[in-house]
Amino acid sequence: MEKVKCLIIGSGPAGYTAAIYAARAGLSPLMYTGPQPGGQLMITNDVENYPGYPDGRQGPEMMEDFKKQAERFDTVIRDEIIVKVDFTGPIHKAWSESGQEIHAHTVIIATGASAKWLGIPGEERLQNRGVSACAVCDGFFFRKQEVAIVGAGDTAAEESTYLAKICSKVHLLVRRDEMRASKIMQERVLNTPNLIVHWNTEAEEVLGDQGVDGIRIVNNKTGEKSTLAVTGFFVAIGHKPNTDIFADWLTLDNSGYIVVEPGRTFTGIEGVFACGDAQDKIYRQAVTAAGTGCMAALDAERYLVEKGV
């Protein structure tokens, strides 16, 4: 068993930023990176919207920078997964996959979310070469080009209208004859001239060798198949927050996101703070995740001062 002042679970921009702040405040944080050290940016190419990188940075390189900065201030980083927690008492308990038991005065949850994918041929092979799950991150690379996007919720509505401002034409593929998105978002979609909605339509295959050059689609009512000549393919069918192990302890919303006090990182359990995409289904940007990581570390530090730890 190991005792720490601050345990950080997860290692994307939120987790590393929390580590930098917690370490500099003398909390000697212990970080468990989770199954994908570095988080979603590890599967992203160029990041051009993170301030401070005027020439952009590759996602994995950026996460290496974050990691080095966290290590410079004495964060202990373990590439391992926390599989179980117990938030019953004032000292919070966690167990790693290898069986290590950790007792922590504060826990910062930064486990992020994972984009859902369709699982169709070509989708994984062409990820970062035309296939993306983030229009705000990657739309710019397809300016003045024709692209397709799958989904029918608020994310798909928002991202398709965002893409329509940058791209010459956007095809929105909706699998039913109606959208789930809020009415106002749907109206925006339907009133955007270069955004074409394909109802009852599913993507069957992403085509291309080195990059995307088309999508094979099928109308699930008529069975009619066709090909859209697009260079970008966006998937916006939702995210799954990585919060399963906290379900017995914390309040999650109906999509599984951790509910925090508005504007804060408090989870409702003293000493347990949540930041990044695990508690944010709206913004989901590296820079917003980093911002809430900072907030969680400051909240943890203040909590420890109050408790005299």
Distance CA(19)–CA(38), nearest Å, equals 13
Distance CA(6)–CA(146), nearest Å, equals 48
Distance CA(235)–CA(151), nearest Å, equals 7
Distance CA(196)–CA(133), nearest Å, equals 19
Known catalytic membership, residue 167: no
Give 279: exposed, middle or buried? Use CB within 10 Å, 0-12, 13-18, 19+.
buried
Distance CA(39)–CA(285), nearest Å, equals 12
CA 174 to chain CA mean position, Å: 23
Q: Amino acid identity of 98?
A: S
- Cβ–Cβ < 8 Å for 123, 237: no
CB nearer ligand NDP, residue 93 or residue 281: 281
Q: Which of 237, 259, 269, 298 binds ligand NDP (CB under 6 A)?
A: 237
Q: Which of 168, 226, 251, 255 binds ligand NDP (CB under 6 A)?
A: 255
CB nearer ligand NDP, residue 7 or residue 181: 181
- Residue 88 binding ligand NDP, by CB under 6 A: no
Per-residue binding letters, 31-70, with ligand NDP (x by CB under 6 A): ----------------------------------------
CB nearer ligand NDP, residue 154 or residue 299: 154
Residues near ligand NDP (CB under 6 A), total: 19
Known catalytic membership, residue 79: no
Known catalytic membership, residue 86: no
**Distances from the Cα of 182 to the Cαs of 120, 152, 168, 171, in angstroms?**
27, 10, 25, 19
Give 223: exposed, middle or buried? Use CB within 10 Å, 0-12, 13-18, 19+.
exposed
| Closest residue to ligand NDP in the complex (CB) | 153
Tokens of 192: 């955007």
Tokens of 131: 């296939």
Segment holding 241, helix H or strand E: strand 239-241
Q: Which of 238, 256, 268, 291 binds ligand NDP (CB under 6 A)?
A: 238
- Residue 301 binding ligand NDP, by CB under 6 A: no
CB nearer ligand NDP, residue 20 or residue 118: 118
Question: Helix (H, G, I), strand (E, B), or coil: what is residue 29?
Answer: coil
CB nearer ligand NDP, residue 194 or residue 283: 283
- Residue 23 binding ligand NDP, by CB under 6 A: no
CB nearer ligand NDP, residue 93 or residue 188: 188
Stretch that binds ligand NDP, among 127-135, 173-181, 224-232, 290-298 (CB under 6 A): 173-181
Distance CA(295)–CA(222), nearest Å, equals 52
Within 132-171, the residues that bind ligand NDP by CB under 6 A are 150-156, 158
Q: Exactly one of 134, 167, 275, 294 is catalytic; name it.
A: 134
- Residue 113 binding ligand NDP, by CB under 6 A: no
Residues of this chain that interact with ligand NDP (CB under 6 A) are 118, 150-156, 158, 175-176, 180, 202, 237-239, 255, 281-282
Catalytic positions are: 134, 137-138
